[in-house]
């Protein structure tokens, strides 16, 4: 039976107030309230204050205001009120957000009839799916289909599932729905994910002898031990030992290398099982450029190489300035990987260093066709203009206006303006689910007009698991330029290239002044409060605490001065950019490991993937922003060559752009 619930004294008046507001909203055209009034109303409601809904009765965000109040009282909310909300906002993002909230609440109090009344097929949240199994079982619906659904959830992953799944799995086991074969299936998947705790949990219920073996398998993952030498010589034992040694290799490659021969011989490893361990040994050795990296890479058979290991083999040879070995490593890559501008460029560069300029030229030309970091470097090597084929399709004003009127998009923009980002993204995704590709691009235009610039990053090129390569040429959208006067002023004050400052903002926040990272970096240039306070004090500018970093002018002022500080400390822009991303300690280590190395090789051999790609991205973005700022992005601009940027030389001749081969669909 569901637990009894009573409506709190203020809930009934609130319900009537929302009902009246909803009627008014249905009867009148939308007329949004001011952003300040909406922000204050949301904050007041979250503090538990009663909000007068009358001023918002015609506002597009009325549903979200109601959601905030209902969320606050979710554990005592009457079912009728919840169902009324779900009915009124059926098909809207706020309705689905409330549905998840309501389902979780009814599950907590075992109100299974209310849960099932609100359930909607297609919900992907695993915790709610397990609760739905609980609901069906508690209401007498644990039929054959229930068993199939529970088994499908059991075998869906080798990783840990929510605690709420324990109850339906216990019922499934009691019904005989978890035979040993199904338990072993989950144990095997957990082993592939290196999850010994999941292996142990899945083993419960196995016959005693199998239970003991499964737990011994799990123990091997936790600490490699010699008991495995006596395991039954089966395919499963070999897989377990191989995966356990591979896991060990990630933390201690030398120990895994020493242990591999004994276990491989005792259990009769196949080539695939041996190669799995050798791969991890090599990967986690070369990722830190340890002394035995080359030997361990060579110990991995070519058949076991993938793109990741191919790249690391090339980088490892570069760190030793073994140009022939690095070129050989690139030549062993697959055709698609070699065709990437990065590896075309380095194949050319290495061929040139080996004295084969004839081989280098066509490789440089292939890379120079790309509008990216390595493409720009290749063009500089050949003295060619940069390849850039902007696509700026004409905008149909009527079509754009129609997209801008879409109710979900209207709500998304309004929510973003008042910093309700997660709700804004729900509404955005809802709108895009109904848009065709042209409407999606227009939605990005509308969002950018409203100051929501990162939609050009997340709403173009790679969207919903699909790739739209032509959209990479929408440079006006993908490289927004805001606060241009402040950027130019602060860049000039700090003797910096303004395109570099703009590129840092694009890489750090995509011009979102309220951006905040998990490391508490804040604002446009993602400044941590301690750095902000220190730079502000040095500059003698007003600083009213961390929230000052959300002010765009303040953030750009501090961020530009900090960039100058990094440049003065490290001497070269690419070192400064790396330090801006990774901090001083890793950069000092990389500098000491590879002193005097050319900039392109130094960047490519940075051990942190994030920093390696960040440095290249910021430098390429600098070229594109230089073009945008020199000609307002109309296609007739020029830019400082990337090779000069690497040296910090801003005085040399500038470079033009050409569109050599636009794609047919680009127009």
Q: Which helix (H) or strand (E) holds 463?
A: strand 462-463
Could you identify the residue written with the tokens 């997340």? 458
Number of H helices, E strands in the chain: 37, 5
Q: Which helix (H) or strand (E) holds 272?
A: helix 271-286
DSSP labels for 558-599?
Answer: HHHHHHHHHHHHHSSHHHHHHHHHH-HHHHHHHHHHSTT--H
Give me the sign of the Cα torsion angle 357, 363, 367, 368.
Answer: positive
- Torsion angles phi and psi, residue 596, rounded to 5: 75, 5
Q: Which helix (H) or strand (E) holds 462?
A: strand 462-463
Please, what is the angle between helix 180-192 and helix 144-154, to 10°?
Answer: 30
* Residue count (the chain): 667
- Torsion angles phi and psi, residue 452, rounded to 5: -100, 80
Long-range contact set of residues 15-19: C-beta below 8 Å, sequence gap at least 24: 15/81, 17/52, 17/53, 18/53, 18/66, 18/69, 19/84
Residues 6 or more apart in contact with residue 659 via CB below 8 angstroms: 387, 388, 389, 390, 635
Nearest Cα residue to 97 out of 118, 126, 76: 118
Q: Which two tokens stand for residue 560?
A: 């530009």
Which residue of the set 222, 508, 604, 613 is catalytic? 508
Nearest Cα residue to 514 out of 69, 101, 39: 39
Q: Distance between CA 533 and CA 135 in Å, rounded?
A: 54
Inter-residue contact 467 to 455 (CB < 8 Å): no
The verdict on whether 508 is a catalytic residue reads yes
Q: Which helix (H) or strand (E) holds 42?
A: helix 35-46
DSSP labels for 63-128?
Answer: HHHHHHHHHHTGGG--HHHHHHHHHHTTTSHHHHHHHHHHHHHHHHTT-HHHHHHH--TT---HHH
DSSP labels for 467-525?
Answer: E-GGGGG-HHHHS---SHHHHHHHHHHTT--HHHHHHHHHHHTTT-TT-B-TT--BTTT
- Torsion angles phi and psi, residue 156, rounded to 5: -75, -20
Q: Distance between CA 454 and CA 357 in Å, rounded?
A: 42
Q: What residues are labeled active site?
A: 508
């Amino acid at each position: 039976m569901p637990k009894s619930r009573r409506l709190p004294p203020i809930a009934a008046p609130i319900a009537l107030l929302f009902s009246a507001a909803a009627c008014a909203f249905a009867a009148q055209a939308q007329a949004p309230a001011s952003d300040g009034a909406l922000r204050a109303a949301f904050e007041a409601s979250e503090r538990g204050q009663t909000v007068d809904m009358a001023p918002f009765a015609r506002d597009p965000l009325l549903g979200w205001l109601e959601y905030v109040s209902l969320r606050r009282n979710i554990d005592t909310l009457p079912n009728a009120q919840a169902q009324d909300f779900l009915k009124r906002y059926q098909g809207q993002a706020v309705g689905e957000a409330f549905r998840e909230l309501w389902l979780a609440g009814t599950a907590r109090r075992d109100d299974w009839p209310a849960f099932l009344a609100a359930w909607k097929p297609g919900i992907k949240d695993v915790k709610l799916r397990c609760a739905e199994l609980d609901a069906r079982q508690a209401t007498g619906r644990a039929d054959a289909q229930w068993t199939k659904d529970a088994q499908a959830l059991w075998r869906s992953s080798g990783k840990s599932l929510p605690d709420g799944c324990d109850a339906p799995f216990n019922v499934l086991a009691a019904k005989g729905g978890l035979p040993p074969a199904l338990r072993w299936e989950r144990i095997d998947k957990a082993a592939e994910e290196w999850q010994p705790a999941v292996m142990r949990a899945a083993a419960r219920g196995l016959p005693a002898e199998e239970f003991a073996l499964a737990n011994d398998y799990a123990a091997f993952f936790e600490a490699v031990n010699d008991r495995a030498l006596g395991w039954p010589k089966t395919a499963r034992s070999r897989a377990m030992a191989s995966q356990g040694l591979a896991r060990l290799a990630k933390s201690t490659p030398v120990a895994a290398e020493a242990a591999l021969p004994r276990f491989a011989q005792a259990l009769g490893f196949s080539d695939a099982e041996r190669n799995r361990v050798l791969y991890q040994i090599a990967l986690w050795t070369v990722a830190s450029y340890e002394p035995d990296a080359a030997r361990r890479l060579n110990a991995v058979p070519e058949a076991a190489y993938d793109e990741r290991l191919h790249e690391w083999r090339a980088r490892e040879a570069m760190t030793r300035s073994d140009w022939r070995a690095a070129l050989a490593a690139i030549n062993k890559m697959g055709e698609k990987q070699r065709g990437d501008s990065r590896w075309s460029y380095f194949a050319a560069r290495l061929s040139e260093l080996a004295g084969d300029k004839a081989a280098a030229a066509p490789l440089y030309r292939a890379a120079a066709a790309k509008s990216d970091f390595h493409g720009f470097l290749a063009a500089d090597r050949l003295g060619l203009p940069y390849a850039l084929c902007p696509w700026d399709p004409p905008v149909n004003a009527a079509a754009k206006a129609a997209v801008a009127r879409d109710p979900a998009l209207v709500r998304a923009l309004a929510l973003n303006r008042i910093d309700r980002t997660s709700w804004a993204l729900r509404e955005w995704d809802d709108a895009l689910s109904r848009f065709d590709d042209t409407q999606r691009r227009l939605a990005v235009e509308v969002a950018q007009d409203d100051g929501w610039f990162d939609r050009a990053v997340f709403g173009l090129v790679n969207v919903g698991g699909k790739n739209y390569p032509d959209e990479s040429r929408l440079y006006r959208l993908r490289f927004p330029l805001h606060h241009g006067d402040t950027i130019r002023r602060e860049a000039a004050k700090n003797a910096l290239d303004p395109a570099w400052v703009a590129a840092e903002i694009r890489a750090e926040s995509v011009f979102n002044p309220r951006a905040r990272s998990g490391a508490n970096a804040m604002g446009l240039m993602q400044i941590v409060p301690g750095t902000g306070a220190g730079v502000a004090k040095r500059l003698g500018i007003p600083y009213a605490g961390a929230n000052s970093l959300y002010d765009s002018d303040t953030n750009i002022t501090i961020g530009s001065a900090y960039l100058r500080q990094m440049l003065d400390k490290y001497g070269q822009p690419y070192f400064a950019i790396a330090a801006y991303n990774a901090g001083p300690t890793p950069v000092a280590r990389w500098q000491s490991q590879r002193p005097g190395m050319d900039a392109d090789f130094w960047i490519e051999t940075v051990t942190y993937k994030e920093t390696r790609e960040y440095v290249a991205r910021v430098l390429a973005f600098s070229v594109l922003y230089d073009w945008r700022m020199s000609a307002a992005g109309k296609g007739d601009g020029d830019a400082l060559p990337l090779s000069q940027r690497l040296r910090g030389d801003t005085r040399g001749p500038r470079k033009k752009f050409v569109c050599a081969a636009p794609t047919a669909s680009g127009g």
